[in-house]
Amino acid sequence: MSANRKTIGRVKLAELKKQTDSHESILNGNLDVIKDVQVKIQVCLGEAELSVAELLELREHSVVTLDRDASHAVDLILDGNIVGRGNLVVVGENFGIELTEIRNS
């Protein structure tokens, strides 16, 4: 049974010195490194708040009123953050978004 015993020891880690801004960034302005990374975006038309009772009463053809006026721009969301806004459009058989605003930060 001694062959199955593991030895446990402490790990000593060296403390890293704080880096200054004079060092190059990982990308160093070269976005070609990540241009093929796939991201998922969402378009938010609006929100509604319902009680559980109201939720349980929903049936086919029920209407849930959203908190936005129909003429209000929709939000383009990346990883939970609004990155742009635009108008909902129809593209062939699909919906699309015509961007009217792109956030820089």
Full-prediction pTM beyond 0.75? no
Q: Please tell me whether residue 44 adopts helix, strand or coil conformation.
A: strand
Contact 77, 43 (CB under 8 A): yes
**Distances, alpha carbon 90 to alpha carbons 22, 54, 75, 99, in Å:** 48, 31, 16, 13
Looking at residue 60, its pLDDT comes to 97
Looking at residue 23, its pLDDT comes to 65
Quick one: average pLDDT of 81-90? 95
Looking at residue 8, its pLDDT comes to 86
Q: Is a pLDDT exceeding 80 seen at residue 3?
A: no
What would the pLDDT profile of 16-73 be if each residue is shown by its tens digit? 877 666 666 777 778 888 899 999 999 999 999 999 999 999 999 999 999 999 889 9
Looking at residue 16, its pLDDT comes to 80
Q: Is a pLDDT exceeding 70 seen at residue 2?
A: no
95: CB partners within 8 A, 6+ apart: 43, 88, 89
Q: Is a pLDDT exceeding 90 seen at residue 15?
A: no
Exposure letters 48-74 (e unless 16+ CB within 10 A, then b) = eeeeeeeeeeeeeeeeeeeeeeeeebb
- The letter for the amino acid at 77 is I
Distance CA 4, CA 28 (A): 48
Looking up tokens 């009217």 gives: 100
Looking up tokens 């029920």 gives: 62
Q: Is a pLDDT exceeding 90 seen at residue 1?
A: no
